[in-house]
Amino acid sequence: MTSQTSFSGQDTAFVEDFRTMSTFGATANGGVDRQAASTADGEQRRWLTGLLQEHGFTVKFDRAGNQWGLHEAVPGAPYVVVGSHMDSQPTAGRYDGAYGVLAAAHAAFRLKAGWSDAGAVAPKYNIAVVNWFNEEGSRFKPSMMGSSVYTGKLELDTALSTTDAAGISVREALDAIGCRGDFAGPEAACCAEIHIEQGRSMERDGVTIGLVSSNWAANKYEFVVHGEQAHTGSTVIEDRKDALLGASMLVVAARELANRFPGVLHTSVGQLNVYPNSPVVVPSRVNLLLDLRSADESVLAEADTLLHRRIAEIESLANVSVEQHHAHSWPVTPYPREGVELAAKVAADLGLSNKSVMTVAGHDSTNMKDLVPTVMLFVPSVEGISHNEHEYTTDEDIVAGLAMLTEVANSLCQGALEPAGTR
């Protein structure tokens, strides 16, 4: 990590804005609760609008709820899209996603100011700051919703019709906070995103900047385990069709798969919904979300086969049936090599220690890299803690990341990576 102890005025302003941003949806334990299109999400979006407008940016909301801060330096030219997301998990850390949006905003402020200096080289592309909608997927599924709509991977009507656990649709939730617009989104030339690593490798190796070269593959499923309601006291064990027992076996099966491929396969069950969830009723239905992730697609395929083989065994052992819905999946796909090389040169020029890393988590840039040349950057996470109120990255590292993102975005705006095809 860096050891810088004093900051410039610009860096201090950035750190202070980060503190202010973290007050929206703040929790007692130092984290945030800013689920997509919640009241807190609406408040921080309005704050971001004000910040962008103070620096001369035009703010628009698109039809999927993505928030855009636009600076048109070259009339009619496409935009370099820079940003991340500000929505969070129910009790989450302050850095995940939100850091990347604020860093994008401050990088864009610096570029706009620099381009107006006498003798400055005019950019080839414009700059757009983006706050993607519902990246986390905690309130509305799937995750990365806003960027999926923008990149054409998810139909707008499908996204807007999606409902949360209370039956509120995305359309209704966005309208309630005044964040559903009629903007189609800007034409993108390139994209850049910076994010906390959400792992330990960078801290362990003492590097400040992660150059993301590829993402892990993932298979995500929603399983519905069907049983039959019965009295928990009087119904004999042999007669029970316990959906929760079957679901519990699936949870254990997922962990056993991870143990079978140590360090190579990550598995989890992150959500269980039990019906009727009564203390004296054998559950008749359990909905659960299960995912498998690996950087080795052959391992992922083998694990997937073993999981489905185990499902058949669970149905027999627990006397239940298991209904499967494929939520979504993605393969191992590299970020453009030229973008990784560009980022490595920028880091070297800035004197920032760096290394190539893969991302285990999904990010909006994993959608964007399929559309335009995209650069993904990481800064370290202390102890690898993430999706947790104690998530932390030092001020020195978030400031170093801002410097890195600014120079990468500037290079992209100058045409360092030619778009393969614009939107």
Question: d(Cα 171, Cα 184) in Å, to the nearest integer?
Answer: 16
The tokens describing 229, both together, are: 């309601």
Give pLDDT tens digits for 237-296. 999 999 999 999 999 999 999 999 999 999 999 899 999 999 999 999 999 999 999 999
Question: d(Cα 415, Cα 413) in Å, to the nearest integer?
Answer: 5
Does the pLDDT value for residue 49 go beyond 80?
yes
- The confidence score (pLDDT) of residue 362 equals 85
Helix then strand then coil, % of the chain, to nearest 5? 35, 25, 40
Place of tokens 């009727």: 276
Of 416, 397, 395, which is closest to residue 343 (Cα–Cα)? 416
Show the CA angle centred on residue 390, arms to residues 384 and 396, nearest 5°: 70
Beta carbons within 8 Å of 11's beta carbon, 6+ residues apart:
399, 402
- The confidence score (pLDDT) of residue 1 equals 44
Of 289, 60, 22, which is closest to residue 179 (Cα–Cα)? 60
The tokens describing 111, both together, are: 């570029």
Question: d(Cα 271, Cα 287) in Å, to the nearest integer?
Answer: 8
- The confidence score (pLDDT) of residue 377 equals 98
Element housing 127 (H / E): strand 126-132
Q: Which residue has the higher pLDDT, 361 or 393?
A: 393
Show the CA angle centred on residue 423, arms to residues 415 and 411, nearest 5°: 15
Determine the CATH number of domain 217-330.
3.30.70.360
Of 135, 187, 180, 175, which is closest to residue 156 (Cα–Cα)? 180
Question: d(Cα 10, Cα 110) in Å, to the nearest integer?
Answer: 9
Confidence of residue 419 (pLDDT cuts 50, 70, 90): low
Domain locations in the chain as residue ranges: 9-216+332-413, 217-330
Same fold for the domain at 9-216+332-413 and the one at 217-330?
no
Confidence of residue 420 (pLDDT cuts 50, 70, 90): low
**Fold of the 9-216+332-413 domain:** Aminopeptidase (3.40.630)
Confidence of residue 2 (pLDDT cuts 50, 70, 90): very low
Contact yes or no for 179/44 (Cβ under 8 A): no
Question: d(Cα 185, Cα 90) in Å, to the nearest integer?
Answer: 28
| Mean pLDDT, residues 369-375 | 96
Of 367, 354, 387, which is closest to residue 95 (Cα–Cα)? 387
Q: How far, CA to CA in Å, does 275 sit from each of 236, 242, 362?
A: 20, 11, 30
Contact yes or no for 34/88 (Cβ under 8 A): yes
Place of tokens 């220690």: 353
Give pLDDT tens digits for 132-162. 999 999 999 999 999 999 999 999 999 999 9
The tokens describing 157, both together, are: 């009507």
Give pLDDT tens digits for 294-307. 999 999 999 999 99
Q: How many helices (H) and strands (E) does the chain have?
A: 12, 14
